[in-house]
Amino acid sequence: MSESSSYELSREHEEFRRSVREFAEAEIRPHAARWDREHHFPVDVVRKMGALGLFGLTAPEEYGGAGEDGDFTSLCVAIEEVGRVDQSLGITLEAAVGLGISPILTYGTEEQRRTWLPDLVSGDRLAGFGLTEPGAGSDAGATRTRAVLENGEWVINGSKQFITNSGSDLTSVVTVTARTGNRENGSAEISTIMVPSGTPGFTAEKAYDKLGWHASDTHPLTLEDVRVPEANLLGERGRGYAQFLATLDDGRVAIAALAVGCIQACLDLSLEYAGERQTFGGPIGRKQGVAFQIADLEVMLHASRLLTYRAAAMKDSQRGGGGASMKDFKQAAAVAKLYATESAVTATRIATQVFGGYGFMEEYPVARFYRDAKVLEIGEGTSEVQRMLIARGLGLPVE
């Protein structure tokens, strides 16, 4: 697909959008409410998403990916369309590629790539990324998990929390950040190490009872004297901090795409309901109090989508070198993430209000989107962190 820095989607992207939408409408929408209610992670549908090629959109052909026929913009389109019917499967896709595949593809050795990527790209397996800890969220530099090199093996001890795709039946590996020593200035040396699922001492604890994303797989992790080969180090030793910062830049755009899907769903549902619901002899959509709120949804949708795909186009423009600068891309990613996710939270509030009392009932999808939206302002960097990054990008010495 096109490597242009324009954020207008190409004809190929729009054709791809239609194919993903058809899949989502047929395979996900009819079951999303039940999966949410039962906290069920639909392994069979995840595999179908893999068969459709959704996990390989940013991967080269030699690992089973789309190669030149895919790009980061395509991934955002897929996340948006899946998230339009189910945010849980939207985040499953986002995390599987952005946090699972991307670090291995970007920083892995050729042997590591050939070992792990084919199954991950096909959707037969999933990978997670263990960054957050009980005492290290936005302050990721406060990581306490430690890894010590002993006789050619990393011995890892620590814990991680809120880790997506970390304990499902499909999970094959989780890349974790750990302290591997100290630098000359006394700061922690942080590295990333791949830990295969099933490794003795590596435990995916009981799944969280979350406010939303009920059909997404999320666990706390415990690592007790976990031993993996020295060769499981991902990238250079001591470069883990820089690696996950770069990973989060891409993830912020992908989360923005998930938020766009949420806003689109709110607009679709509100329009349909406002045309059907009758009060005082006519549809509620003719009342300005309702119509104007729905108009606001349209504005938020277009602004969020444009910001998101502008950032995605900047990412794609960097393929093969050149294109947008990293500074400009980082700024665009933070702007898109902040605006789209905060808009999504507002959109779900508006949609719930349009539905009135029915919006408070779990049988209506707006209630599910309302619960799912809040975490969009938290994951991949909170709104506060985005504002800090944007301010720094403007040259302000904000802490």
Residues acting as catalytic residues? 380
> Where are any strands of DSSP class E within the chain?
126-130, 146-150, 153-164, 171-182, 188-196, 202-204, 218-229, 233-234, 278-279, 282-283
What phi and psi, each to the nearest 5 degrees, are found at residue 328? -65, -40
Conformational region of residue 58, where left means phi above 0, alpha means psi within -120 to 50, and beta covers everything else = alpha
Q: How many residues does the chain have?
A: 399
Query: Are 364 and 358 spatial neighbours (Cβ–Cβ below 8 Å)?
Result: yes
Give the integer Cα–Cα distance in Å for 304 and 141. Answer: 31
Distances (CA, A) of 40 to 80, 85, 93, 174, 218: 21, 16, 16, 21, 12
Rg (CA), the chain: 21
Query: Are 309 and 317 spatial neighbours (Cβ–Cβ below 8 Å)?
Result: no
Give the integer Cα–Cα distance in Å for 53 and 13. Answer: 14
Closest-CA residue to 309 (of 89, 93, 51, 14): 14
- Dihedral (C-alpha) 242, 246, 251, 254: value to the nearest 10 degrees? 180
In a 3-state reduction of DSSP, which class is residue 136? strand
Query: Are 117 and 104 spatial neighbours (Cβ–Cβ below 8 Å)?
Result: yes
Distances (CA, A) of 82 to 66, 258, 302, 340, 343: 18, 8, 18, 16, 18
What phi and psi, each to the nearest 5 degrees, are found at residue 204? -90, 110
